[in-house]
Homo-oligomer: A and B are copies of this chain.
Amino acid sequence: MTTSEEPPRPAVLLLSGGMDSTTLLALAVTKGFLIHALSFRYGQRHDLEVQAAARAAERYGVLKHVVLDIDLKSFGGSALTGAGIIPKDRPIDEKEIPVTYVPGRNTIFLSYAMAWAEVLGSSDLFIGVNSVDYSGYPDCRPEYIESFERMANLATRAAVGGQRLVVHSPFIRMSKREIIELGISLGVDYSETISCYDPTADGAACGHCDACQLRRKGFAEAGATDPARYAAAAPT
């Protein structure tokens, strides 16, 4: 992290428009990084995420926001990219990999971020992965992120030149509650973030998918009100 004595450093930040990555953006801006935000359209069911990412990018004055279209649909294999039904009100079992897991997603995202960082001469990547509530996702685990970082430090021209790339994942061992508490202290407007895997056509959250359940639990534990708009049928 930079201190106020150092010149601002460019960084590439993966921005989905959800709670975690928006909080991450607020944190990285506070630390003085010059943010290059990267979002993806990857065949997910709705575009609201990317719209939320664009709003966050604007609000935090990122230097550049790139949205890449990538085609994960042609491989199939995930409920988030159209191959299955999104489960509702299921007990969140941290030992089981959810059907909403998208094979290779974080590796592909981080690979693009690494490529952009190299072009920019940046040695800092930010990703808002979180292993506590989503330990079912293999590519959210600390050992995975550490291994990606080691690989990235062999993959690039910068690495050959001795520049060390760091993958910052400050939330990886934090609970949703802790992330929300941090975000509130940083002034994050959570009404602008979207977490739901299956929102209504007008953008209301379903309240029943895994992501909604975890979000609501996090806000409840933090003793805060979730400003997300939920569909009428959602539990209160």
In the complex, are the beta carbons of B103 and A157 less than 8 A apart?
yes
- Nearest to A74 among chain B residues (CB) is B66
Q: In whole angstroms, what is the CA distance A139 to B154 when docked?
A: 7
Q: In whole angstroms, what is the CA distance A157 to B97 when docked?
A: 7
A57–chain B nearest beta-carbon distance, Å: 15
In the complex, are the beta carbons of A157 and B108 less than 8 A apart?
no
List, in ascending order, chain B residues with CB within 8 A of A201's CB.
none
Known: A104-B112, A147-B151, A148-B151. A118 touches B77 (CB 8 A): yes
Chain copies in the assembly?
Answer: 2
Known: A119-B75, A156-B138. A104 touches B97 (CB 8 A): no
Known: A115-B72, A138-B160. A155 touches B151 (CB 8 A): no
8 Å CB interface, A77-110 against B: 77, 97, 101, 103-108
Interface set of A (CB-CB < 8 Å, partner B) = 66, 68-72, 74-77, 97, 101, 103-108, 111-112, 114-116, 118-119, 138-139, 141, 143-144, 147-148, 150-152, 154-157, 159-160
